[in-house]
């Protein structure tokens, strides 16, 4: 078997961020080297505490640090209607063991340090892109050392937080613009594909039967599913963020299309929209591989197998 893909995860847990962390912890094809939390689904204090609890519950003993507590320019608008007041409502995760608390470093420093040597680590981002943009602003040479960013954000089609925009990009569009214009190769898991990663009742029950972590994953999806039913009328919740890690484990699950993607930062109705040049009409070179199709049954087999390995 080839060496695992080493990843730094930048997250805002978040139910689907938790599923992404569980998948990464459980699958031998990836190795998490460090985790930074960012404000997004909830305040930084909450997302950092959640990231730490989720990582430790999944057996990850790597550094977890708190990063940026607000977007670069705008005020924060969190998502309690989807993820609850804690940002991770539903099952109670245990407190981390003594000595395994948050790393004292700033999350942006931890992220930067993960890329001290070129090409060794892949960046996975499943929250707003504030930490990533701040790292690039502080140290522009990072562009040469981050070989690839696999991110959850944006949409070729409709948005979810506004008709035009997806939550992670809308939360900090100025940061997203910096990242999409950075020149770093980007794989974009937008709503077009993440809405195919639906946790059907069969998938949730398979997780519930898959051990200690699987049971908690299912309980998270019970809460998340009720939110998606109430807010969007979805029959089953999409586990957006887990698509990033699944792609690194098994790229053939996804169909990607190269595109030029720009982030709208001005329009009062369109702030945070990822403007995706599907037909190449702008003549701009592609800056992202955008995922369009998912093999959902194979995705869920991967999820359940990986999470079952965590016991």
Question: In the complex, what is the shortest distance from the CB of residue 210 to Ca ion, in angstroms, rounded to a whole number?
Answer: 22
Pairing of the two strands 5-11 and 30-37? parallel
* Span near ligand BDR by CB under 6 A; candidates 94-102, 160-168, 211-219, 292-300: 160-168
Closer by beta carbon to ligand BDR, 138 or else 232? 232
Please tell me whether residue 240 binds ligand BDR under the rule CB under 6 A.
Answer: yes
Size of interface with Ca ion, in residues (CB under 5 A): 6
Which of 50, 126, 227, 274 is in the footprint of Ca ion by CB under 5 A? 126
What is the C-alpha separation between 280 and 277, in angstroms, rounded?
5
Catalytic residue among 15, 78, 240, 279, which? 240
Taking residue 145's Cβ as centre, other Cβ atoms within 10 Å add up to: 17
Closest CB to ligand BDR among residues 162, 308 = 162
Residue 170 token pair: 């809308």
Binding characters for ligand BDR, 3-42, by CB under 6 A (x = yes): -----------x-xx-----------------------x-
Cα–Cα distance measured from residue 218 to residue 20, given in angstroms and rounded to the nearest whole number: 13
Closest CA to 142 of 123, 170, 158, 161: 123
Smallest gap from residue 127 Cβ to ligand BDR (A): 6
Is residue 279 annotated as part of the catalytic site, yes or no? no
Per CB under 6 A, 287 contacts ligand BDR: no
Task: Answer yes or no: are the C-beta atoms of 69 and 44 closer than 8 Å.
Answer: yes
Half-sphere exposure of 235 (CA within 13 A, CB side): 5
Position 82 contacts ligand BDR (CB under 6 A): yes
Selected from 63, 96, 107, 127, the binder of Ca ion by CB under 5 A is 127
3-class SS at 117? coil
Distance between CA 153 and CA 40 in Å, rounded? 12
The pair of three-digit structure tokens given for residue 267, joined into one six-digit string: 């329009």
Least CB distance from residue 310 to Ca ion, whole Å?
20
In sequence order, what are the beta bridge partners of 35?
A: 9, 64
Q: Which residues bind Ca ion (CB under 5 A)?
A: 12, 14, 17, 126-127, 241
Catalytic residues: 240
């Amino acid at each position: 078997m080839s060496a695992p893909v080493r990843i730094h995860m930048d997250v805002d847990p978040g139910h689907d961020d938790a599923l992404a962390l569980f998948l990464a912890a459980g699958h031998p094809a990836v190795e998490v080297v460090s985790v930074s939390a960012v404000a997004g689904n909830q305040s930084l204090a909450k997302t950092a505490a959640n990231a730490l609890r989720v990582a430790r519950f999944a057996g990850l003993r790597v550094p977890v640090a708190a990063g940026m507590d607000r977007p670069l320019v705008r005020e924060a608008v969190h998502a309690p209607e989807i993820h609850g007041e804690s940002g991770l409502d539903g099952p109670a995760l245990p407190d981390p063991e003594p000595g395994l608390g948050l790393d004292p470093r700033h999350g942006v420093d931890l992220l930067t340090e993960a890329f001290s040597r070129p090409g060794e680590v892949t960046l996975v981002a499943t929250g707003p892109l504030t930490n990533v943009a701040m790292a690039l602003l502080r140290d522009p040479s990072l562009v040469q050392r981050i070989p690839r960013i696999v991110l959850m954000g944006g949409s070729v089609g409709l948005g979810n937080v506004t008709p035009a925009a997806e939550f992670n990009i809308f939360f900090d569009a100025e940061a997203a613009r910096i990242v999409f214009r950075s020149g770093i190769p980007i794989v974009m898991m937008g709503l077009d594909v993440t809405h195919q990663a639906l946790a059907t009742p069969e998938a949730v029950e398979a997780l519930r039967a898959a051990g200690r972590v699987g049971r908690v994953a299912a309980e998270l999806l019970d809460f998340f599913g009720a939110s998606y039913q109430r807010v969007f009328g979805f029959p089953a919740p999409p586990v957006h963020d887990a698509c990033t890690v699944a792609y690194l484990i098994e790229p053939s699950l996804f169909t990607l299309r190269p595109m030029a993607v720009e982030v709208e930062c001005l329009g009062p109705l369109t702030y945070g929209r990822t403007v995706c040049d599907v037909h190449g009409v702008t003549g701009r070179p592609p800056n992202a591989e955008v995922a369009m199709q998912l093999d959902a049954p194979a995705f869920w087999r991967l999820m359940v197998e990986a999470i079952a390995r965590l016991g």
